[in-house]
Amino acid sequence: MSQETVSVTIQLLGGEYRFGCTAAERDDLLEAGRYLDEKLREVRDRSSKLLSLEAVAVMAAMNISHELLRQRRQLAETDTLVNYHVQDIVQKIDAVLSKSAPVAL
């Protein structure tokens, strides 16, 4: 099933950029654009005003990449910890059940 493509305009550092996406993706694309604009502005405001747009964009991309990788590592660590605790609970439940009297049917 083909979905119709809609045009979305994203404002980045005062410039307008047009993207095509499905209607279902529109809100996510707008949110991503707002987030990117915020990150670009943070870099520009913290840095020398003489930086080119390209340099600001590369620095913002590096910051976003670093943030993403850090969150992925934290998620992986959390998953490992949760799995450890689940296995521990399952072992404890199995131990208790194995000590209980068998149920007559």
| CATH number of 79's domain | 3.30.160.880
Give residue 104's pLDDT band: very low, low, confident or very high (50, 70, 90): low
What residues contact residue 18 under an 8 Å CB cut-off, 6+ apart? Answer: 7, 8, 9, 10
67: containing domain: 5-99
pLDDT digits (tens, 9 = 90+) for 43-98: 999 987 788 999 999 999 999 999 999 999 999 999 999 999 999 999 999 999 88
In a domain, residue 105? The reply is no
Predicted pLDDT at 105 = 65
3-state secondary structure of 6: strand
Give residue 37's pLDDT band: very low, low, confident or very high (50, 70, 90): very high
Predicted pLDDT at 24 = 96
Distances in whole angstroms, Cα of residue 73 to Cα of each of 30, 41, 68, 82: 27, 26, 9, 14
